[in-house]
C-alpha cells in the first residue's frame, strides 16, 4: 500500500472509502446491507471505532471515523474481513439471489489472484484514508458522503436514505450510533 494511503495519526478523523471488487453491486438487498450495519455496530461497541458519518452505497462505503480503542487500520482490516466472510456466506445461502453464481465466481476469481485469501476476495484492498485536517475538508467530505444517494438518484434528500448518517444529522435516529460533527 502506498504511503499516502496510511493512517499516520490515530487521534485524527479520517474519511475512508472502500469498494467491492470490480464495483459489484452487492448491497442491493436489505439482508446484505444489514450485515454491514451490524458489523459496523460491533466495531463501535467492541473495538473503539468512532463513527462520525457513514453511507453505504450499492458497491462501496464512505466513512468519517476515528478511534478510541484499536488502531484504525486494524479495525478496518477486521471490519472488511468479517463482512467479507459473512456477506459471501449470505450470498452462497440465498437461493433467491439471481446473481449468486456470477458474484461468487467473481469473488473467487479475485481471491485466486491474491495469495492472502483462502477462497474469496470481496472488498478491494485499498481504503484510501484521507486525514481531515481542516474544518473545510471535514465539511466537504461530510456533504459529499451524505449526498451520494441523492446524486445516485435514489432519494431526493440525503436524510431519506436509511443506510446513511444523514438521518442523524437531520435529527432522525439512524441505524448506527454516530458522533455528530458540529
Closest CA to 35 of 67, 95, 92, 79: 79
10 Å CB burial of residue 132 (0-12, 13-18, 19+) is buried
Write out the H or E segment, with its range, that includes residue 167: helix 166-169
Residues sharing a CB contact under 8 Å with residue 9, sequence separation 6 or more, in sequence order: 131
Domain boundaries, position 69 = 3-169
pLDDT value of position 2: 37
* Number of domains making up the chain: 1
Please indicate, yes or no, if residue 46 is contained in any of the structural domains. yes
Judge whether residue 10 has pLDDT over 80: no
CB 142 within 8 A of CB 53: yes
Q: Is the pTM of this model over 0.85?
A: yes
Please indicate, yes or no, if residue 182 is contained in any of the structural domains. no
d(CA 171, CA 28): 26
Please indicate, yes or no, if residue 76 is contained in any of the structural domains. yes
Largest interatomic CA distance in the chain: 48
pLDDT in tens, 54-104: 999 999 999 999 998 889 999 999 999 999 999 999 999 999 999 999 999
User: Cell 465539511 maps to which residue?
Assistant: 139
Judge whether residue 31 has pLDDT over 80: yes
CATH value at residue 54: 3.30.70.1290
Please indicate, yes or no, if residue 180 is contained in any of the structural domains. no
pLDDT value of position 3: 37
Please indicate, yes or no, if residue 131 is contained in any of the structural domains. yes
Please indicate, yes or no, if residue 9 is contained in any of the structural domains. yes
N- to C-terminal Cα distance for the chain? 33
Please indicate, yes or no, if residue 12 is contained in any of the structural domains. yes
pLDDT in tens, 133-149: 999 999 999 999 999 99
Please indicate, yes or no, if residue 77 is contained in any of the structural domains. yes
pLDDT value of position 7: 61
pLDDT in tens, 142-169: 999 999 999 999 999 999 999 999 999 9
Read off the pLDDT band of 8 (50, 70, 90).
low
Amino acid at each position: 500500500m502506498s504511503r499516502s494511503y496510511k493512517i499516520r495519526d490515530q487521534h485524527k478523523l479520517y474519511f475512508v472509502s472502500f469498494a467491492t471488487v470490480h464495483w459489484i453491486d452487492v448491497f442491493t438487498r436489505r439482508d446484505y446491507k444489514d450485515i454491514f450495519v451490524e458489523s459496523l455496530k460491533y466495531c463501535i461497541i467492541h473495538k473503539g471505532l468512532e463513527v462520525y458519518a457513514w453511507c453505504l452505497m450499492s458497491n462501496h462505503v464512505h466513512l468519517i471515523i476515528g478511534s478510541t480503542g484499536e488502531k484504525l487500520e486494524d479495525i478496518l482490516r477486521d471490519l472488511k474481513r468479517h463482512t467479507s466472510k459473512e456477506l459471501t456466506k449470505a450470498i452462497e445461502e440465498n437461493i433467491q439471489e439471481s446473481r449468486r453464481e456470477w458474484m461468487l465466481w467473481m469473488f473467487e476469481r479475485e481471491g485466486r489472484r491474491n495469495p492472502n485469501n483462502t477462497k474469496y476476495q470481496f472488498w478491494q484492498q485499498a481504503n484510501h484514508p484521507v486525514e481531515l485536517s481542516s474544518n473545510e475538508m471535514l465539511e466537504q467530505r461530510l456533504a459529499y458522503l451524505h449526498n451520494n444517494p441523492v446524486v445516485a438518484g435514489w432519494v431526493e434528500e440525503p436524510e431519506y436514505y436509511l443506510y446513511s448518517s444523514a438521518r442523524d444529522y437531520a435529527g432522525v435516529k439512524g441505524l448506527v450510533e454516530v458522533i455528530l460533527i458540529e
